[in-house]
Structure 1
Amino acid sequence: MKSLVKTPAARTALEGWYQTFRAKLPTKTTERRVATRFGETHVLVGGPEDGPPVVILHGALASSAHVLSELAPLLSTFRVHAVDIIGQSVKSAEVRPSVSDNSYGIWLAEVMEGLALPKAHVIAVSYGGFVALRLAAHAPERIDRLVLLVPAGMVSGPPLDGFFKLGLPMLLYRAFPSEKRLARSVQHLLTTVGDDWTRYLGEAFRGIDLDMRIPPLAKPEELANLTAPTLVIGADKDLSFPGRKLLDRAAKVLPNLKDTELIANCLHCPPTTDEFRAWLSGRISRFLLDAQWSQ
C-alpha cells in the first residue's frame, strides 16, 4: 500500500500540527478507534454526552482536529464525533477507497455503526461533503440533518482558473518551496492568510502524496431517498466550487433542501477568525435545532 505521507519526517511534522490544532479546542476531547473493512478509523469525540449526536467530516489534507478547531463552539451543545477520513488524514488508515462508487459511504456507515450511532446530524466540509453525499446515497437513513459547507461532489469550478490560480502555484511550491511561493499557493484558497493554516498547508503540500482523483458529481437519482433536512453553505469567491453555482444545483439535486447561505467575500476556505467561527457555528446550530425542520 502506498503511503499517504512521503517521509517519516513529514509524518512527524503533520502529527505535530494535528496536536497544535487539537490544543486549540476549548474543552476536553477523547480519541476513538473504529475498525472497518477499509481499515482503522480515528475519531475525535467531545461535547456533552447527552447532547444531540453530530458527525463532522473534514476537508482534504486536514483532520478531525483541524475541522473541530473551526467549529469548536458546537462542543458546548452537541456530542461531536469528528471523523478522520481514510486516505486524507494521517490519523486514519492510509487506504484510498474508490471515488466512483459508494465505497466512502459504506465506510462511513461502518464508522457510525462502530460508534453506536444509528443516526446523527452530519456536518461536512469540502472533500468531506463528497463523503457525506456518498453516505446519503448508500445509507440515507443514518442522516438526521445534513449540513454541507463548500462541499465537493456537487459542482465543478472553471478548470483553467483552478489550474493557474490553485494547481500550478501549489506544484511550484512543492518543487521549489519558498515563503513567496507558499503565499501564492494559498492566496486564492484561504480567506484568512498568515495564520497556522498557511503554515500547516505548507507542510501538507510538501509532505502528503496528493490524491488527484476528482470525485464525480452527485446525481439526483442517487439522493432520491434522502429525507434529511439539508443546509448548504457556499462561498461567493470559491474557485473550486463556485458558491452561486453550488446553491443553484443543490436545489435540483437535494430532495429536502431547506436552507442555503452564500458567504460574501469568501474563498474556498472561510475566514479563520473567532468572530467567523462563532457566526458559522451559530448558523449551523440554529439549523440543527430548529423544530420547523423536523422530519
Structure 2
Amino acid sequence: MKTSIYKSEEGKRKIAEHYENYIKTFTCDFERLYVRTSFGKTHVLVAGPSKGKPLFLLQGGNCINPMTLSWFSPLIEEYRIYAPDTIGHPGYSDQNRLSAKDNSFALWITELMNYFNLERCAFIGPSYGAGIILRLAVFMPNKIDCSILVSPAGIQLGSKLEMIKNILLPLILFNTFSSSSEKYLTKMTSIMSANSMKEIDKLVIGDIFKYLKLEQEMPKLTEKEELMRYNSPTLIIAGEKDIFFPANRLNVAARKVISNLTAFKTITMGHFPSEENLVEINNEIKEFLNTYY
C-alpha cells in the first residue's frame, strides 16, 4: 500500500474494527466529519453541547482516538469536544507522518481550528498529544486559552534502560514468537498501566503492536526559550509509575521549562490510568477548567 502506517490491509481493517467498537462504548452521539488540511485529510470526532466552551483533545501516540478520548468522557457533558485522529497515527485520517519537532503540527491544528471558526480554546492531550500541544505553544501560543498535559511527551523522558528492558525487548519477542505473544503482551501492558489495563485496551494495544509500523519519533523535548511567548495557564498530571514519562523527572524538568505552570499533580498510576485514576484526573481537570477557562 502507498504511504501506509499499516503492515497489511488486514491490519488496517482490524484497527478500524477496534475504533468502531470503542465508539460504541460511549453513551453520547458523535458528529464525524473529514476536514481537508494542507497536511492531509483529517477525521474529527465532535461531541458535547453545541453551545459548550470548545475543548480540543489530541490523542495519545500509536493509539486510537476514542480510547484516549474515553479517559476524558465526563467532560463531554459540559464542553464542546473536538477530537481529531492525528495524521500518521491509527484512525481515519491520512497516514502521512508529520514531524513533532518542527511547526507542522501547530499549523495542522490551526487549520482545524479555522475550519471550526475557533480563534483560541482550551487543549487537553495525553502523552504524544501533549507533545503536540507543546509544539502549538511554541509556534502558535495565542491559540491556547489553557492547556492540560497528561503524562506528557515533549518535556522529559524516563529511563531508556528501563524502557528497553520492559517495553522494547518484550515487543521484539512479541512480534517474533507468536506462540508466546500473549505472555509478552501481558508484560508490556502491565508495565504501561501499573497492572490496571482494561481488557478492551489490551486487545487494541496488542493489534497495534502486531499490525502497525509504530511511530518511533518522540515529540521534541521543549526548551524554556521556546516558550517565552507562551503564558496560558497550564496543568500537568503525571504518573508516579509511568515508565515513559515518570512524575519525578517530569516535575523537575517542567518547572524549569514552563514558567506559567499553574499546577503539577502526581497520581499513583502508570502511563495508562486505571478507572479510579480517571475519576481523580477528571476532577482535577474540571476544577482547573472552572478556574481558568
Shorter chain as denominator, the TM-score bin is: over 0.9
Contact 1:25–1:68 (Cα < 8 Å) also in 2? no
CA distance in 1, matches of 2:237, 2:198: 24
Quick one: which of 191, 194, 199 aligns to 2:203? 199
Tell me, yes or no, if structure 1 residue 188 matches structure 2 residue 191.
yes
In the alignment of these two chains, the number of paired residues is 289
The structure-2 alpha-carbon separation of the partners of 1:100 and 1:68, relative to structure 1 and needing over 3 Å to count, comes to closer
Q: Which residue in 2 is equivalent to 1:179?
A: 182
Tell me, yes or no, if structure 1 residue 256 matches structure 2 residue 264.
no
Contact 2:89–2:95 (Cα < 8 Å) also in 1? yes
Q: Which residue in 2 is equivalent to 1:136?
A: 137
CA distance in 2, matches of 1:219, 1:253: 6
Structure 1 range deviating more: 174-183 or 4-13? 174-183
CA distance in 1, matches of 2:37, 2:198: 38
Deviation at 1:187, TM superposition (A): 1.9
Q: Which residue in 2 is equivalent to 1:92?
A: 93
Tell me, yes or no, if structure 1 residue 242 matches structure 2 residue 251.
no
Contact 1:34–1:115 (Cα < 8 Å) also in 2? no
Amino acid at match of 1:268: H
Contact 1:173–1:185 (Cα < 8 Å) also in 2? no
Contact 1:233–1:262 (Cα < 8 Å) also in 2? yes
Contact 2:101–2:135 (Cα < 8 Å) also in 1? no
Cα displacement string for residues 136-156 of structure 1 (whole angstroms, at most 9, x for unaligned residues): 111111111100000101001
Cα displacement string for residues 185-219 of structure 1 (whole angstroms, at most 9, x for unaligned residues): 22211231351111110100011111222332001
Deviation at 1:63, TM superposition (A): 2.5
Structure 1 range deviating more: 251-260 or 230-239? 251-260
Cα displacement string for residues 11-42 of structure 1 (whole angstroms, at most 9, x for unaligned residues): 11100100111111121111121111110111
| Unmatched tracts of structure 2, length 5 or more | none
1:259 aligned counterpart, secondary structure: strand
Tell me, yes or no, if structure 1 residue 83 matches structure 2 residue 84.
yes
Q: Which residue in 1 is equivalent to 2:38?
A: 37
Contact 1:73–1:278 (Cα < 8 Å) also in 2? no
Q: Which residue in 2 is equivalent to 1:233?
A: 237
Tell me, yes or no, if structure 1 residue 208 matches structure 2 residue 212.
yes
Q: Which residue in 2 is equivalent to 1:217?
A: 221
What TM-score does the superposition give when structure 2 sets the normalisation length? 0.95
2:40 aligned counterpart, secondary structure: coil
| Unmatched tracts of structure 1, length 5 or more | none
CA distance in 1, matches of 2:176, 2:105: 31
CA distance in 1, matches of 2:256, 2:221: 13
Write out aligned runs for 1:21-32 (5 A): 21-32=22-33
2:38 aligned counterpart, secondary structure: coil
Amino acid at match of 2:263: D
CA distance in 2, matches of 1:180, 1:200: 16
Amino acid at match of 2:270: L
Contact 2:105–2:132 (Cα < 8 Å) also in 1? yes
Tell me, yes or no, if structure 1 residue 281 matches structure 2 residue 285.
no
The share of aligned pairs that are identical, in percent, is 31
Amino acid at match of 1:81: Y
1:145 aligned counterpart, secondary structure: strand
1:189 aligned counterpart, secondary structure: helix
Tell me, yes or no, if structure 1 residue 12 matches structure 2 residue 13.
yes
1:234 aligned counterpart, secondary structure: strand
Amino acid at match of 2:110: A
Q: Which residue in 2 is equivalent to 1:67?
A: 68
Q: Which residue in 2 is equivalent to 1:164?
A: 165
Deviation at 1:89, TM superposition (A): 2.3
CA distance in 2, matches of 1:209, 1:168: 16
Contact 2:62–2:215 (Cα < 8 Å) also in 1? no
Cα displacement string for residues 124-179 of structure 1 (whole angstroms, at most 9, x for unaligned residues): 10000111111111111111110000010100111111101111111211222321
CA distance in 1, matches of 2:48, 2:280: 19
CA distance in 2, matches of 1:55, 1:214: 21
Structure 1 stretches of 4+ moved >4 Å: none
